[in-house]
Structure formats: structure tokens, C-alpha cells
Amino acid sequence: MSVKPEHYDVIVKPIVTEKATMASEAGAVVFQVAKTATKPQIKEAVEAVFGVKVKAVNTVVTKGKTKRFRGQIGSRSDVKKAYVTLEEGNTIDVTSGL
């Protein structure tokens, strides 16, 4: 499968948090993805860009919080995350970059 430019539009960045690290021990990798991305698009993009086999894709939309900055009320934007479970024997090292 060849890498298409739109694959880089689907995957925004990998998420490296404590929860994401715990998920990686179970064979899953967490990515921030475009809000309009569907599960099949995410699967195709991860398989093409990283050269791995994807078992399942679970998505979650984290709603943006309301925060104060210098007394002004602002809002963080909503973020869509994809928990990508890989087939046995496949790994992605998100700390090395693309």
C-alpha cells in the first residue's frame, strides 16, 4: 500500500501520555486524528504510513474545556483520539517520529 498525502491529513500526531503508555503495553497506539476521519480511513492511514497490520480502531472525542486566560474566558478545541490496536508482532515506536 502506497502512502498518499491525505494519509498525513488523517493522522495529526501521536499522543504520549501516561494513559497512552499503559495502552501501548496492551499493543495499542494512541493518535490524535482529524475530527472528520472515519475508522476505515484511520486504519488505512496507519497501515500505509507505519507499515503495520491494524487489528481494530476505537475512537473517542474529547470535548474542549473552558479555561481562563488573563481573565478572559476561552475554550480549547475538541480533539478526536484514535486507539489503534495492532496485530500480534507489530509495533510502532511513537517516540522516534516519522
The full set of domain ranges for the chain reads 5-86
Return the higher-pLDDT residue of 34 and 96.
34
Question: Which CATH architecture best describes the domain 5-86?
Answer: 2-Layer Sandwich (3.30)
Q: What is the pTM of this model?
A: 0.84
What rounded mean pLDDT belongs to the chain? 88
Confidence of residue 82 (pLDDT cuts 50, 70, 90): very high
Give 96's DSSP letter: S
Within 13 A of 27's CA, how many CA atoms are on the CB side? 12
Contacting residues for 67 by C-beta, under 8 A, at least 6 apart: 73, 74, 75, 76
User: Shortest CA distance to 60 belongs to which of 41, 40, 84, 86?
Assistant: 84
Report, as an integer, the average pLDDT of 42-46. Answer: 93
Report, as an integer, the average pLDDT of 69-94. Answer: 88
User: Shortest CA distance to 92 belongs to which of 35, 37, 39, 13?
Assistant: 13
Helix or strand (DSSP H, E) at 34: none
The predicted pLDDT at position 92 comes to: 79
